[in-house]
Amino acid sequence: MVAGAAAAPAAAEWDADQAVTQLYSAHYRPLVRLATLLVRDYATAEEVVQDAFVAMHGAWRRLRDPNKALSYLRQSVVNRARSVLRHRAVVEKHAPKALPDAPSAEHGALGELERAAVIEAIRRLPTRQREAIVLRYYGDLSEAQIADSMGISRGAVKSHTARGIAALRSVLEQTT
């Protein structure tokens, strides 16, 4: 596979061409399979292997033992696959994050109209019912806390809340 040490530079280049061609013919597919297992992408694996062959051809004169060219190629494929994986990790780490789905302008406008209708309906309630509903659903207080805040019994809180909800339901059903 390799010419004698006293061969002319043109002969050494020809030997590199010939040796790389023979290695390519015999080992290209197994090296691509190896790279595919490492990088999980066939097209990238082919690029890795082709780059390894090109690098080996360029370094053929510096190769100490041309009989170990296949080992050199395998190691080159593994190293280049690692580089690809490192590059992918960096790209994924710094990839822009997708923006969350934003509701449409119509959704916001309808929501605002609904909130305005609810607030207006709450304003129309009698004072005790309004207080009980606001403390329960907006203040997130328990019945006992509402009773203490309003100075009434828990039963009265239940009564005012139930009547207020019924009145709100009635008013809101009429507006929709």
User: In this predicted model, what pLDDT tens digit does every residue of 97-142 receive, in sequence order?
Assistant: 877 777 777 877 778 888 888 888 998 999 899 999 989 988 889 9
Element (H, E) at 75: helix 69-93
Residue 43 has pLDDT above 70, yes or no: yes
Predicted local confidence at residue 2, as pLDDT: 45
- Percent of the chain topping pLDDT 70: 91
Average pLDDT over the chain reads: 86
| The pLDDT value given to residue 156 | 95
Residue among 61, 1, 59, 58 nearest 25 (CA): 1
Whether the CA torsion 38, 47, 71, 76 is positive or negative: it is negative
What pLDDT score does 104 carry? 78
- 54-67 burial code (b ≥16 CB/10 A, e <16): eebbeebeeeeeee
Report pTM. 0.50
Query: How many CB atoms neighbour CB 144 within 10 A?
Result: 10
**pLDDT > 70? residue 12:** no
CB 154 within 8 A of CB 144: yes
Q: Which residues lie below 8 Å from residue 163, measured CB to CB, with a gap of 6+?
A: 129
Higher-confidence position of 68 and 36: 36
* Separation between Cα atoms, residue 137 and residue 150, nearest integer Å: 15
pLDDT of residue 161 exceeding 90, the answer is: yes
pLDDT for position 167: 93
Helix then strand count (H, E) for the chain reads 7, 0
Band the pLDDT of 155: cuts 50, 70, 90: very high
Lowest mean pLDDT among 11-20, 87-96, 124-133: 11-20
Contact 42, 71 (CB under 8 A): no
